[in-house]
Structure 1
Amino acid sequence: MDHVIELEGVVKRHDSAGAPVLGPLTLSVAKGEALAVTGPSGSGKSTLLNLVAGLDRPTDGTVFVAGRRIDRLSEYSLARFRRAHIGMAFQFFHLLDDLTVTDNIQLPAQLTGTGRRAAAARAGELMQMLGIHKHARAYPGRLSGGERQRVGIARALINRPALLLADEPTGALDTASGHDVRDLLRELHRGGQTIVLVTHDLALAKACASRTVHLVDGHVALDTHAQAVR
C-alpha cells in the first residue's frame, strides 16, 4: 500500500525539559485516504498538522510525506517541496485581498514556475469544478465565507498536490456554508484526493473522513475506520 504520510516515533517538545506536546507517535496515511484528526484543545492536533506540513520539525523521529523525508530538509527545500506536494486550506482563508479570485488561485502555481497560460487553465478548471467561476474577476472581500473557502481550497489544489491539509475549514463559516464545504471535501475524497482534516466538529469528521484519529495529550486515544464516504 502506498503511503502519503509516514510518521515514525515522532516526538515534539517545545521545552527540552518539559513533557512532549505530541508523541511518541507512529502514524501512516494511505494514498486516497481521508483522515480526520480530532481531540480537545491542547491535544496536539495543530502540532501534528504543522509537522506534516513541514512548518515545524520534530524533536525526535522521522516525517515522510509523498515519499520524501522532510524533517531534514533545509528551509528553502521545504518551501519548494511544500508548494509542489502539499496544499493547505485554513480556517480564516488567508487570501490576498488586493488580488482577484483568479490571481489568488494561480499564485502557488506561479511560485513553482508554472507558465501563465497553464496556470490560468488549471485555475479555470478548478473554479468550474468548485462552482466559483462566476467570481473569477471578483476580489475576496466581496465573497461570502463559503465562497472564500472554496477559493482557498482551489488555491490549495492548483499544483495537484499529493496531500491536502485542511485546518478547521468550516470553523469560520455559517451552517449552510459549512455544509457546502463538507460536501466539497467529500467530493474531493471520492475523486481520490488524500486529505488530512483537523477539526473539533465530530459531525464533519464523520461526514468527510474514511478514518478518524482522536488525540488526547499528544497520543492517539482512538483510531477508527468509517464506512465508505457516500
Structure 2
Amino acid sequence: MSAPIIEIRDVSKTYDASDAARPALADFSLEVAAGEALAVLGPSGSGKSTLLNLIAGLDRPDRGVVRIAGTPVHELGEAALAGYRRERIGMVFQFFNLLDDLTVEDNVLIPAQLAGTGRVEARERANELLTRLGIARFARAYPGTLSGGQRQRVAVARALMNNPPLLLADEPTGALDSESAAEVRELLGALVAEGRTLVLVTHDTGLAAQCATRIIELVDGRLARDVRNTPLAVAR
C-alpha cells in the first residue's frame, strides 16, 4: 500500500499562550491518500483553517508531525517552506488573491516564474489551463473586469500552474453569488473526477456533497465525524 500524501500525527496547535487557552487543534491525526478529495466542515473556530495552514506550511504545530508527500513540513525552515509551497501545493482562496494590476495570463504565470520555468513553456502551460477552464478569451483582461466565478477560475488556473500534487481550497465559494458558486462547484468537481488530490475547507455543504470523496467534521479542534462520500460530479 502506498504512503498517504497527507500524514498528520498527534498534532496540537494553540495560538494563545495562556494555560486556559483552548487549542485550535488538539492531538489531531489524519491521513489522506493520493486522489482523495477531502472536505473539511465545522463551525467557526473548530480548527478548519488551522488544519489547512498546517498542511500549507503557513503555521507550525506546537507538537506533532505534519508530513506531506513525504516532506516533514513541521521541520522545514522558511526558505524550504517557500520551495515546498511552490512545488507541492496549489492554493485557492475565498477572495481570489489575484493581482489587479496584472492581466489574467500574468497572474496565472506567477508560480511558473517563481519556479524558474522557461518563458515559452510557461506561456504554453498557462494557455492550456486557461483554455481548459474556459477563460482563454480573458487572457489579456484584468481581474477587476471579470465576474467572481471567472476570477475564481483564474485562481484555480494559477494554483494548477506548476502541476502540484495537492490542491488546497479555502472557502472557494464563500465570496460568490449563487450562479458563480455553481460554476466553481462544477469546476472543482471536474478536477476531482480526474483524480486530483484536494483538501477543501468550506461551510458549503452542497460543495462538499458535489466534490468530496470523503467528508470530515471538526468540533473544538478534534475530529467529530469522518465519512466516505460519492461525489455528485462522479456519480453522474
TM class, shorter-length: over 0.9
What is the CA–CA distance in structure 1 between the aligned matches of 2:116 and 2:166, rounded to whole Å? Answer: 20
- Per-residue CA distance 1:107-154 (angstroms, 9 max, x = gap): 011001111111101101100110000000000010000000000000
1:92: which partner in 2? 95
2:198: which partner in 1? 195
- The 5 A counterparts of 1:21-170 are 21-170=24-173
What is the CA–CA distance in structure 2 between the aligned matches of 1:40 and 1:19, rounded to whole Å? Answer: 15
- Report the CA distance between 1:20 and its aligned residue: 1.4
* TM value normalised by structure 1: 0.98
* TM value normalised by structure 2: 0.96
What is the CA–CA distance in structure 1 between the aligned matches of 2:213 and 2:167, rounded to whole Å? Answer: 15
- Report the CA distance between 1:192 and its aligned residue: 1.5
What is the CA–CA distance in structure 1 between the aligned matches of 2:97 and 2:24, rounded to whole Å? Answer: 26
1:178: which partner in 2? 181
- Report the CA distance between 1:66 and its aligned residue: 1.2
SS at match of 1:26: strand
SS at match of 1:37: strand
Pick from 211, 225, 230 the counterpart of residue 228 of structure 2.
Answer: 225
Identity %: 59
What is the CA–CA distance in structure 1 between the aligned matches of 2:34 and 2:184, rounded to whole Å? Answer: 22
What is the CA–CA distance in structure 1 between the aligned matches of 2:26 and 2:72, rounded to whole Å? Answer: 18
CA contact (8 A) 2:212 2:230 kept: no
What is the CA–CA distance in structure 2 between the aligned matches of 1:85 and 1:132, rounded to whole Å? Answer: 25
SS at match of 1:3: coil
Look up the equivalent residue of 1:8 and give its one-letter code. Answer: R
Look up the equivalent residue of 1:144 and give its one-letter code. Answer: S
SS at match of 1:227: coil
- Report the CA distance between 1:218 and its aligned residue: 0.4
Aligned length: 230
- Per-residue CA distance 1:40-83 (angstroms, 9 max, x = gap): 00000000000000000000100011111011100110011101
- Report the CA distance between 1:15 and its aligned residue: 2.5
What is the CA–CA distance in structure 2 between the aligned matches of 1:65 and 1:122, rounded to whole Å? Answer: 25
CA contact (8 A) 2:11 2:64 kept: yes
- Report the CA distance between 1:21 and its aligned residue: 1.3
- Report the CA distance between 1:4 and its aligned residue: 1.2
Look up the equivalent residue of 1:29 and give its one-letter code. Answer: V
- Per-residue CA distance 1:7-61 (angstroms, 9 max, x = gap): 0001001123223111211101110000000000000000000000000000010
Look up the equivalent residue of 2:116 and give its one-letter code. Answer: G
Look up the equivalent residue of 2:9 and give its one-letter code. Answer: E
What is the CA–CA distance in structure 2 between the aligned matches of 1:187 and 1:132, rounded to whole Å? Answer: 16
2:11: which partner in 1? 10
What is the CA–CA distance in structure 1 between the aligned matches of 2:213 and 2:113, rounded to whole Å? Answer: 33
Which consecutive residues of structure 2, in runs of 5 or more, have no partner in the other structure?
Answer: none
- Report the CA distance between 1:203 and its aligned residue: 1.3
- Report the CA distance between 1:214 and its aligned residue: 0.3
Root mean square deviation, CA, Å:
0.9
What is the CA–CA distance in structure 2 between the aligned matches of 1:79 and 1:193, rounded to whole Å? Answer: 22
Look up the equivalent residue of 2:12 and give its one-letter code. Answer: V
CA contact (8 A) 2:173 2:181 kept: yes
Following TM superposition, the consecutive aligned residue runs of length 4 or more in structure 1 with deviations greater than 4 angstroms are none
